[in-house]
Amino acid sequence: MRGGVHRYAAQASLRIDAATAEKSRFRMKTLWFFNPGQIGSMNKVLIISTNAKATEAYRKAVSTLGSECEVAKSIEEMQQILRNRPFNGLILDVLTAVRAPHKDKPTIQRFSEIYPTFRARWDEKNRKIRGMVLGRSLDKADPLGAFLEMFCRHRPARVCRVTPRYRIHFNVLLSRDANCAEAQAEKTVTLDISRGGCFLISNQDWQGTKTAWVRFRDIPRIPPVQVEIRHFCAWGHAMQVPGIGVEFQQMDPLHLETICRHFPISTATDL
């Protein structure tokens, strides 16, 4: 009976209500992504599990598949690790997620939206790792191996840096050219913004591009701002807004303060 309850709980945890996920996304702070190495190098995942047997099974499987891993035994530890060291993805034990305190569940959801997340279940009877990635199909014979190859190996490892985010939609010109001429630039808006950077809605292909320039049309006295692309989400991927997460580079402090004057405190989001 107990095994049946666990299986039911695990299956239930794999289903996430789309409306809940959408609401949680707008309660987040901006999490800036840093790439410490080259895409395609050995990847590293964080295992979140309080189940010793499952943890050991996940750890051995990850090692066998040629990847590295660390283990977080609590949601608080998960947050601390992710804010200090880079990872390509998460392996979330579903029973750990089910048994987590209610206050931790929104945090689990938010980090699952930021990192590629494999929701894993250790099948003790058959000695197999089962699991899934929400909204995607994986090889049933080796779902963990498929996850590491499809979602982690060819993406940059990320460290979370947290700053207050504001839901302000500046009209901007986005360009690969430093002049940011209006005729050639993409006309778009910021989805959200912080002191460190912003997310820009874009339908262009930014894969492999490191640098761009942004001109704030609503603040004409600020020259084009150089930005470093930290995260790219292509159109049609994972039901997310297409665009790029960027970090401001070489911005004059006075210009930054001019932008920050448009940040009404009431629109700040919380993690």
Say whether both 14 and 143 belong to one domain. yes
Domain span at 32: 2-152
Residue 220 is classified by DSSP as T
Number of domains in the chain: 2
Q: What whole-number distance in Å separates Cα of residue 123 and Cα of residue 119?
A: 13
CATH code for position 94: 3.40.50.2300
- End of a domain among 96, 130, 152? 152
Query: Is residue 92 assigned to a domain?
Result: yes
- End of a domain among 152, 172, 207? 152
Q: What whole-number distance in Å separates Cα of residue 254 and Cα of residue 58?
A: 50
SS3 content of the chain, % helix, strand, coil (to 5): 30, 30, 40
pTM: predicted TM-score of the whole model, two decimal places: 0.54
CATH code for position 181: 2.40.10.220
Say whether both 8 and 132 belong to one domain. yes
- Which of left, alpha, beta for 250 (phi over 0: left; psi -120 to 50: alpha)? left
Say whether both 141 and 9 belong to one domain. yes
pLDDT computed for residue 16 by the predictor: 38
Say whether both 130 and 257 belong to one domain. no
Whether the CB-CB separation of 263 and 168 falls below 8 Å is answered with yes
Q: What whole-number distance in Å separates Cα of residue 182 and Cα of residue 119?
A: 45
Q: What whole-number distance in Å separates Cα of residue 245 and Cα of residue 167?
A: 14
Say whether both 129 and 179 belong to one domain. no
pLDDT computed for residue 239 by the predictor: 66
Query: Is residue 256 assigned to a domain?
Result: yes
* Local structure of 115: helix, strand or coil: coil
Query: Is residue 158 assigned to a domain?
Result: no
Query: Is residue 159 assigned to a domain?
Result: no
pLDDT computed for residue 41 by the predictor: 52
Say whether both 168 and 224 belong to one domain. yes
Whether the CB-CB separation of 215 and 170 falls below 8 Å is answered with no
Say whether both 184 and 135 belong to one domain. no
Q: What whole-number distance in Å separates Cα of residue 63 and Cα of residue 121?
A: 17
Q: Is 226 exposed, middle or buried (0-12, 13-18, 19+ CB in 10 A)?
A: middle
Q: What whole-number distance in Å separates Cα of residue 91 and Cα of residue 55?
A: 10
Residue 177 is which amino acid?
A: D
Query: Is residue 38 assigned to a domain?
Result: yes
Tokens representing residue 75 in the block: 């949601």
Say whether both 202 and 141 belong to one domain. no
Residue 204 is classified by DSSP as S
Whether the CB-CB separation of 156 and 33 falls below 8 Å is answered with yes
Tell me the mean pLDDT per 10 residues along the chain, length 271. Answer: 47 42 39 41 88 97 96 94 90 95 88 88 95 83 93 82 81 96 95 89 93 94 91 77 88 87 62 42
Element (H, E) at 90: strand 89-93
Query: Is residue 18 assigned to a domain?
Result: yes
pLDDT computed for residue 238 by the predictor: 61
- End of a domain among 152, 186, 207? 152
Largest separation between any pair of C-alpha atoms in the chain: 68
Tokens representing residue 195 in the block: 């002191």
